[in-house]
Structure 1
């Protein structure tokens, strides 16, 4: 008699633009067997579930998706925290007070459900909320952090250098916000250090505006919000990549927000760094060799996150 395959289940708390796009990305890639959407607006969650379910015939797997309550999260492998306030600010830290009130109501209900898996936290300000949620629930929390920002940076560098974003390895570190830094000294293009790649063709690649790429990356989220009211596709894909790495024990290296206690000289603060992600969540922090300016910028970014965490 054959063994039954264990089904994989994802819960998503907050079925707005972000939560629904995370669900859609998971379904499109065939990453799990079951998704449950939870929102204070139960009707919206149900209709998002129905809308996505209507696409199942064209998806890789016939996964189930439905709206449910906290009791449906008890046996979930991963719960995505994408609930937030309805306030959107250019500086994500300004959303903190309103989002904390929302998160504080969610935490006891999630723990009461019996859920004991991993939380992937998206809610902004991402690093502060991830640390706060881990503290008040005792759960294993991974923040999506700069997974999205790093993808934005890779796209911009790739366009400047004439290669695919897949051929660029570059990380934004620190806060998922204005104080993040680009680790250009550790970046590679087609396996070569970024600086070497630029020096080889000084009249073309060498003209790449790295500072401009970083500034554009930092400003990208707010620019999108101003133009269409929210970000959704990029973060949906970034969150799905984090979930995939954990759910399928990939041991993939992705930048995400995790509790630092030693690496990069930081202690007791959630910030984004490259991490090996697997079944246990963040299984190892990768410590890059940063330039002096980058290290100082990263320390300042962590100090900003820590300052806001201490207010809670």
Structure 2
């Protein structure tokens, strides 16, 4: 049986919580932490290894270098700093581009041939820059995109409706950032369209507006950052779910930021869309019919991402065509 090996690039809050989530779920036999601060990576690995003594699954976790990528099935990119209060994810653009200049050649020369999942913000831009610069297939190099936002919209709808979030089907599309959108026409609870529920309960559910929902989702990350300095648990479990869908070949539909080639009427851009995840990474982009307003919002979000990809073109010397 092939040993499942995951390398996590970045041993900060996000990278280490991805590692701990993977350990708790038993989704890998071997996890390697990498960081430019090697001492930090070693210390985080030791701390997590101590935790492993009480887990039901045998997991080897240690620090390592780029040579570990040669036989890794999955590489998780979690480099970079957290947002500061008042910053948008796009404010991290220049810092993230500088870090990519350092890591891209090392990944390229490592012999890595697995699946690359990027978390680093701005997620859509970084994931697509990695794909283009490394020359990877668009279905094997993508970012977590709006996956965390989609968990947040389910939580928010649970709070507003009283229905259990596991009975709520809702997700975000577009940028993992301020221009993201919620396709309300595809939100359902217990199989019933949300719009129908609003008509049936005009005095309660009928008062929930799309603008209200979208603003709460957009602000959710900053609310956490202003209180504790970073987000970590939510994205850790989101990454874990994606990895589980790959290793277990689940064919699960999950919102991810993937390079679009005509899907949803978009090209030369990566944006959060529903995707089918299986053993080969993304196996299909799950296209939906958006109403006119939703289409306009999604197109606008793609334009925001495309603008930053153009900026990255000169910084990383990649083609954005």
Q: TM-score range by the shorter chain?
A: over 0.9
Do the aligned partners of 2:128 and 2:269 also contact (CA within 8 Å) in 1? yes
Structure 2, unmatched stretches of 5+, are: 313-321
In the TM superposition, 1:100-179 aligns within 5 A as: 100-139=97-136, 140-179=140-179
Q: Distance in 2 between matches of 1:106 and 1:248?
A: 29
Do the aligned partners of 2:82 and 2:229 also contact (CA within 8 Å) in 1? no
Q: Which residue of 2 aligns with 1:46?
A: 42
Offset at residue 54 of structure 1 (A): 1.0
Which deviations, in whole Å up to 9, do the C-alpha atoms of 1:53-104 show, x marking residues without a partner? Answer: 1111322311100000110121000000000146646211111111111012
Q: Distance in 1 between matches of 2:187 and 2:55?
A: 35
Cα RMSD for the two superposed structures = 1.3
Which deviations, in whole Å up to 9, do the C-alpha atoms of 1:177-232 show, x marking residues without a partner? Answer: 00000111111111111111222222233233442222111011112111111110
Q: How many residues align?
A: 308
Q: Partner of 2:271: helix, strand, or coil?
A: strand
Q: Which residue of 2 aligns with 1:296?
A: 296
Q: Distance in 2 between matches of 1:19 and 1:50?
A: 14
Do the aligned partners of 1:85 and 1:102 also contact (CA within 8 Å) in 2? no
Q: Which residue of 1 aligns with 2:252?
A: 252
Q: What TM-score do you get using the length of structure 2 for normalisation?
A: 0.93
Q: Distance in 2 between matches of 1:64 and 1:209?
A: 47
Q: Which residue of 1 aligns with 2:10?
A: 14
Do the aligned partners of 2:8 and 2:77 also contact (CA within 8 Å) in 1? yes
Q: Which residue of 2 aligns with 1:24?
A: 20
Offset at residue 145 of structure 1 (A): 0.3
Which deviations, in whole Å up to 9, do the C-alpha atoms of 1:243-294 show, x marking residues without a partner? Answer: 1112221110000000111111001110000000111211111112212111
Q: Distance in 2 between matches of 1:309 and 1:14?
A: 23
Q: Which residue of 1 aligns with 2:64?
A: 68
Do the aligned partners of 1:269 and 1:306 also contact (CA within 8 Å) in 2? yes
301 and 279 in structure 1: CA distance in 2 versus 1, 3 angstrom threshold: same
Q: Which residue of 1 aligns with 2:318?
A: none
Q: Distance in 1 between matches of 2:193 and 2:56?
A: 37
Q: Which residue of 2 aligns with 1:197?
A: 197
In the TM superposition, 1:251-270 aligns within 5 A as: 251-270=251-270
Q: Which residue of 1 aligns with 2:184?
A: 184
Do the aligned partners of 1:259 and 1:269 also contact (CA within 8 Å) in 2? yes
Q: Distance in 1 between matches of 2:97 and 2:75?
A: 18
Do the aligned partners of 2:82 and 2:230 also contact (CA within 8 Å) in 1? no
Q: What TM-score do you get using the length of structure 1 for normalisation?
A: 0.96
Structure 1, unmatched stretches of 5+, are: none
Q: Distance in 1 between matches of 2:310 and 2:280?
A: 27
Q: Which residue of 1 aligns with 2:78?
A: 82
Q: Distance in 2 between matches of 1:294 and 1:270?
A: 17
Q: Partner of 1:166: helix, strand, or coil?
A: helix
